[in-house]
Structure 1
Amino acid sequence: MSPGASVTLNCEVEHPSAGWSFYWYKAVPDLSEKSSSYELLPDGSGTAQDSYIIHGQTHTAGYVCRAGRGDPEYHTDHSQPKFVWSADVHSAASLTVSPDRVQHFTSDSVSLTCEGNFTEWRVRKFSEDGRLYSDCRRMTGSTCNINTSESDTAVYWCESGSGEFSSAVNITVQ
């Protein structure tokens, strides 16, 4: 997305029917728990609309939704996060891949280094099968070292302890 663009998020329940309310959250990295916490978005509490428009998106962020209905209200689990990648070239976080190429081969040694003025980092991975991984198997300081296998074909990015996201990098392993 271009910085400042608007984006529409949609939320679906498995068996749609009347009476659902939708809740919209921003996913905030929590490095101590190797997970995310959720911040309710403005006007994102209990709307009847199954979509939510974010105006003026200026940075990369992850979003989740959940639905509720009944009295007392029953809530679904939170959705998987969806990431909206902003083309903000001024991000305070960046990711460097070494060796610097898109194509890698099995058993290559690849280093993913997070850069920026932060003390805590996490490298995240979104695999081809749609799984989101919260941390690196071998993280040393701000660098994640991978001896590649085909399962390492994925999109990678860095998250700082204060919630900054780097741009995303595609890595293909053959």
Structure 2
Amino acid sequence: MLFPDVHSAASLTVSPDRVQHFTSDSVSLTCEGNFTEWRVRKFSEDGRLSDCWRMTGSTCNIYTSKSDTGVYWCESGSGEFSSAVNITVQNYYGPILVSPVHPVTEGASVSLSCSLKTQKILSNVFFYHNDKLIQNDTRGELKISAVSKSDEGFYKCQYSGRESAQSWMSVKGEQDQNI
């Protein structure tokens, strides 16, 4: 299935702005654009298409469970689509990788970190890019000062022998920054 990824006046904002979330997190997905009617749609891991049933105006509010993992996008009443974003919900006891929901523009800086439900800032974290160890940082943060296309790929973190799920970080060219 092709997911909406179009040049559009519609956009989707995720709060908190990260791909991975813990079970029982409160997550808001807000549709933005010059439209009066919105729905947030989800394509789940098991191949089902569904709509957010807890919409307040243009915002879908989720109290996360594992079944909320999927691909989300906004659709206006007149048929405009936002780009799609991935949301992954992790069990309470493991670490999550804190990484941006939307593509990062080439040349921009980005920070990835590792977090536990009970502890936001960790030290002695291992970071992996496409399953290759790239950093063991005592600060628990991976900083990329100028992102390039080679930084695109799957990232995950490991803390105290436990790994996060992996998330895809997309990199777009500077000429595409208005998408």
TM-score, normalised to structure 2, is 0.48
Bigger Rg, structure 1 or 2: 1
